[in-house]
Amino acid sequence: MEIEIGDAIVDLLALQQPVATDLRFILAALKINNDLERIGDHAVNIAESALKYAGMEPVKPFVDMPKMAQVTKAMLRDSIDAFIHADSAKARSVLISDDTIDDLNRKIVGELVALMRAEPVLIEQALDLIRVSRNLERVADLSTNIAEEVVFVAEAHVVKHHAEEKSPPQTRDAGPTTA
């Protein structure tokens, strides 16, 4: 499906020769296509770890991991919704959630490393869970990328790489392809 979308984008560019907002939209779609494909890969990684984990003795009851999964799924859903509805405000709200995920991941990995030291018999389970946590963190990151592309399309303003500028700029950026 990623290839189909990529091909469709090339066709659009060649045949319609869009400019300005449309061009930004199409190039954003190109990047989002790529991000979605990578999210798919991370989903597969999580599933692989789940399979391995299911075959072993379970570890301590989950508290943080389900929360992390829930927030990540919401971020993904919101970033795609923001794209579909060209909702820049919603996209910015996704960017803010990323810190929560980073904190949760650090906490979970820290606890799992401590668990491995305390109960070495659980090393393999813990490593699977670490893998899941890290893959969730990557999905959240990629959702943030999608949200950044949405902001770019709507405002012609590049948010990415500027973690401190998560609120709208005071003056409009005059991008090269504004109409």
Partner 1 sequence: MERHFERELEDLKGNLVTMGSLVDGQLGSACRALFEGDTARAREVMDRDREVDSFDTLIDRKCMDILALAQPVAVDLRLLMSSLAINSQLERIGDIAVNIAERAEPLVAHREFLLSTRLSEMANIARIMVRDSLDSFIHGEASLASRVLVSDDVVDRLDGGLFRSLVAEMKVRHDRIEAAAHILILSRHLERLADHATNIAEDVIFIVEAKLVKHNAGEGIRP
Residues of the shown chain interacting with partner 1 in the complex, contacts defined by CB under 8 A = 10, 13-14, 17, 19-20, 23-24, 27, 30-31, 34, 109, 113, 116-117, 120, 123-124, 127, 130, 134, 158, 160-161, 175-177
Toward partner 1, which CB reaches closer, 72 or 125?
Answer: 125
What one-letter code names the amino acid at 1?
M
- For the CB of residue 168, give the shortest distance to partner 1 in the complex, in Å: 18
- For the CB of residue 99, give the shortest distance to partner 1 in the complex, in Å: 17
Integer Cα distance of 7 and 13 in angstroms: 10
- Alpha helical stretches, state H, the chain: 2-16, 20-54, 64-84, 88-118, 123-155
Toward partner 1, which CB reaches closer, 55 or 120?
Answer: 120
- For the CB of residue 46, give the shortest distance to partner 1 in the complex, in Å: 14
